[in-house]
C-alpha cells in the first residue's frame, strides 16, 4: 500500500537505493505499486496492461530501480522475521503454554516489547506506531501476560516475608509498585522509600509508635 | 490540554498507549516512558497527562545509582 505517498517520490527514493546503496525506506508493496503506476502511465491506448508492464520492466530505468528497491525491502523484512526469538520472548511463550513462573521481571517483558517494536517497524513507521500495530495484531499478548504474571509473583514473594500483623506493609508495597524505577525490584524500592522518602519514613515511624 | 497542542511524536505515543489500553486494559506509565525514549521529540509528561497517568510514577527516573558503600 502506498499510504498517500507520491509514486514519483518513491521512484526517486528507489533510485537512491539502487545507485547510492541506501537502505529502502518503504515496504516492498510500495515499490510494487509504484511499478504498476509507471506501467499505467506508460500504457498506450492500443496496448493491454500486462504488455505495458512487461515493456516498462524491460526498458524503463525507473522500473529497474523500483524492482531493485522492492527486492532489498523484501530481503530486509525476511531477515527480521527470520531472527530467532529472544530468551525473554521464549520465556513469555512458555509461561502461556505451561503456566510456569516467569523467569524475568515485568520491566524485562516490557523492554522486550519496545525492542521488538523497534526491530519490526516497517519502513516509514516509528517504533511507537509499530508498537500500536503489533499490540493490535496480538504480537505482544504473551509478553504482556507474562509481565503481569511476573508482577503478581513478585508481590506474592515480597508479601510472604512480611509480618502478618503489619498494617503499614501493604501500603508501602502498593506505593512501591507505583514508584518502582526502571530495573528496580519491588523489595529494593520499598527499602529505598523507607530510607530516603521523608513522608514514608514518618508514616513508618508513626505506625510503629516510634 | 487539547490534542492540537501536542506535537506529532507525542500524538503517536498517545495512540500507541491507547491501543495497548484497548487490548490489555492498561499500559503502565513506565512502559510509556520506555517507548517515548524511542520516539524522538515525544513529550512523555504531556502524554501521561493526557492519558490521566501523570504523577503516578517516577517516570523516566534512572535506575538506582550504584553507590560505593564506605566500610
The per-residue pLDDT for range A14-25, each reduced to its tens digit, is: 999 999 888 888
In this prediction, residues A37-45 reach a mean pLDDT of 90
A19 and A61 assigned to the same domain: yes
The whole domain housing A199 covers: 162-207
pLDDT at B60 over 60: no
A11 and A69 assigned to the same domain: yes
At residue A183, the 3 state secondary structure works out as coil
CA distance A140 to chain B (A): 9
- The three cell numbers locating residue A140: 505482544
pLDDT at A82 over 70: no
pLDDT band at residue B58, thresholds of 50, 70 and 90?
Answer: low
CA distance B52 to chain A (A): 14
Classify residue A202: in a domain, yes or no. Answer: yes
A54 contact B CB<8A: no
A25 contact B CB<8A: no
Classify residue A190: in a domain, yes or no. Answer: yes
Q: What percentage of chain A carries pLDDT values higher than 70?
A: 95
In this prediction, residues A45-57 reach a mean pLDDT of 89
Phi and psi at A72, nearest 5°, equal: -60, -45
* Assessment of whether the complete model's pTM goes beyond 0.80: no
- Give which of A119, A126, A174 to mutate to test B binding, by max B Cβ within 10 Å: A126
User: Do residue B39 and residue A126 have CB atoms under 8 angstroms apart?
Assistant: yes
Classify residue A16: in a domain, yes or no. Answer: yes
pLDDT band at residue B68, thresholds of 50, 70 and 90?
Answer: very low
Classify residue A173: in a domain, yes or no. Answer: yes
Residue A210, pLDDT score: 67
Ranges of H-type helices in A24-126? 28-42, 49-59, 61-82, 87-98, 106-119
- If one counts the domains in chain A, the total is 3
Q: What ipTM score was computed for the predicted complex, to two decimals?
A: 0.76
Q: Are A119 and A80 in contact (CB under 8 A)?
A: yes
Classify residue A176: in a domain, yes or no. Answer: yes
Buried b (16+ CB within 10 A) or exposed e, B24-53: eeebbbbbbbbbbebbeebbbebbbebbeb
pLDDT at A26 over 80: yes
Tell me which of A89-93, A127-131, B3-7 is least confident.
B3-7
Three-state SS string over B3-66 comes to: HHHCCHHHHHHHHHHHHHHHHHCCCCHHHHHHHHCCCCCCCHHHHHHHCCCCCCCCCCCCCCCC
CA distance A88 to A76: 23
> A154-190, pLDDT tens digit by residue?
888 777 777 767 788 888 888 888 787 777 888 888 8
Chain B residue with CA closest to A118: the answer is B38
Classify residue A152: in a domain, yes or no. Answer: no
> A106-123, pLDDT tens digit by residue?
889 999 999 999 988 887
Amino acid at each position: 500500500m502506498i499510504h498517500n505517498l507520491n509514486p514519483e517520490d518513491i521512484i526517486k527514493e528507489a533510485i537512491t537505493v539502487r545507485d547510492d546503496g541506501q537502505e529502502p525506506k518503504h515496504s516492498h508493496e510500495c515499490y510494487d505499486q509504484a511499478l504498476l503506476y509507471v506501467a499505467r502511465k506508460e500504457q498506450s491506448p492500443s496496448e493491454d496492461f500486462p504488455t505495458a508492464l512487461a515493456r516498462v520492466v524491460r526498458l524503463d530505468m525507473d522500473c529497474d530501480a523500483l524492482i531493485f528497491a522492492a527486492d532489498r525491502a523484501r530481503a530486509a523484512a525476511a531477515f527480521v522475521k527470520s531472527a530467532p526469538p529472544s530468551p525473554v520472548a521464549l520465556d513469555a511463550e512458555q509461561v502461556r503454554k505451561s503456566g510456569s513462573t516467569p523467569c524475568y521481571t515485568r520491566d524485562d517483558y516490557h523492554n522486550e516489547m519496545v525492542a521488538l517494536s523497534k526491530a519490526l517497524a516497517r519502513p516509514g513507521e516509528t517504533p511507537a506506531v509499530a508498537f500500536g500495530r503489533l499490540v493490535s495484531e496480538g504480537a505482544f499478548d504473551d509478553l504482556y501476560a507474562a509481565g503481569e504474571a511476573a508482577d503478581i509473583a513478585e508481590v506474592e514473594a515480597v508479601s510472604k516475608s512480611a509480618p502478618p500483623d503489619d498494617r503499614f506493609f501493604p501500603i508501602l508495597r502498593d506505593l512501591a509498585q507505583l514508584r518502582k524505577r526502571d530495573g528496580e525490584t519491588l523489595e529494593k524500592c520499598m527499602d529505598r522509600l523507607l530510607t530516603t522518602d521523608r513522608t514514608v519514613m514518618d508514616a513508618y515511624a508513626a505506625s510503629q509508635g516510634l | 490540554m487539547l490534542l492540537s497542542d501536542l506535537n506529532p511524536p507525542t500524538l503517536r505515543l498517545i495512540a500507541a498507549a491507547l491501543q495497548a489500553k484497548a487490548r490489555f486494559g492498561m499500559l503502565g506509565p513506565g512502559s510509556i516512558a520506555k517507548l517515548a525514549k524511542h520516539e524522538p521529540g515525544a513529550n512523555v509528561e504531556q502524554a501521561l497527562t493526557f492519558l490521566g497517568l501523570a504523577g503516578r510514577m517516577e517516570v523516566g527516573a534512572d535506575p538506582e545509582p550504584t553507590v560505593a558503600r564506605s566500610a
